[in-house]
Amino acid sequence: MKYIILSMRPGQWIKNLLVLAPLIFSKNIHILVKDIEVLKAVIIFILISGCVYMTNDIFDLENDKNHPVKSKRPLSSGKIKKSKLIYTIVILSVSTFILAYRINVVLGNIILGYFLLNLIYSILLKRIVILDVMVVALGFYLRILAGGVVIDVYPSEWLSLCTILLSLFLVFSKRRYELVVLENSSNIHRKVLSYYSPYFIDQMISIVTALTIITYIMYTISDKAIEYFGTRNLIYTNIFVFYGIFRYLYLVYKEKKGGDPVKLMLSDKFLLINIFLWAIAVYIIIYY
């Protein structure tokens, strides 16, 4: 059981907190019934994303054995058998689908779509340049969508765009890290990296960085947001977004980090404090 849980990457479960975004930005966080529904969606995504991680480990087994970090995972290090992992994936994924459909039919469709998308990703899409990054970003958007459907709230266009663009920023940064750190052996660990170059990825990072900042600014000053929240003060949260992105760029380019966005955010005290202050500011402005 220990190695099954480790194979589900508990360190990555924090990504599923994105499901909470529609609850917060729809001003429903103080409604207990909706809190419970969204919490269920978070748990559902933790389970299905765990199945996705285990599936990826099976498809990437041979490459992971030669990776300096991934070789320590339960499957690639031989601590758990491949057959046991496959059995766990089948049982857990089917159980998760049933649970999701019982909560909400649309949620069930999203969870099924998320799993199938990542299955196709593991089989084919991860080898196709640019698409490999866009699929990962789409997975983050599906989390936002799931958090909305369970409380009958459709995420705004601005929130959706911010999520997708920020995800692209993080994934392109991760690709750059892999290219720089693994250097000549990068294509052995991830074949699609042979189609990338640091210069090309730098161009992509520049584009999505600018678009992310502009999109968030437009969201905070949009007439729809001002009318819905009853205040123009959301614009002041831009300073935290600017600093967060600039700090992340510093860590990627100067400190040569970015291989694991979650680990980087949790380990860098400046990023962590900034995220905390942004969340507090958003909460105060929206609710008080």
What would the pLDDT profile of 1-38 be if each residue is shown by its tens digit?
777 888 788 888 888 999 999 999 989 999 999 999 99
pLDDT at 159: 85
Residues 167, 128, single domain; the answer is no
What would the pLDDT profile of 129-156 be if each residue is shown by its tens digit?
999 999 999 999 999 999 999 999 888 8
Report the number of distinct structural domains present in the chain. 2
Structural domain containing residue 29: 1-155
Residues 146, 221, single domain; the answer is no
pLDDT at 65: 66
The Cα 120–Cα 55 span in angstroms is 11
pLDDT at 68: 65
Average pLDDT value for the chain: 88
What would the pLDDT profile of 166-184 be if each residue is shown by its tens digit?
999 999 998 888 888 766 5
Residues 4, 124, single domain; the answer is yes
**Domain boundary residue, one of 91, 124, 155:** 155
What would the pLDDT profile of 99-114 be if each residue is shown by its tens digit?
999 999 999 999 999 9
pLDDT at 187: 52
Question: pLDDT: is 39 or 11 the higher one?
Answer: 39
pLDDT at 184: 59
Residues 110, 160, single domain; the answer is no
Query: Per-residue b/e over 25-45, b at no fewer than 16 CB within 10 Å?
Result: bbebbeeeebeebbebbbbbb
Residues 166, 100, single domain; the answer is no
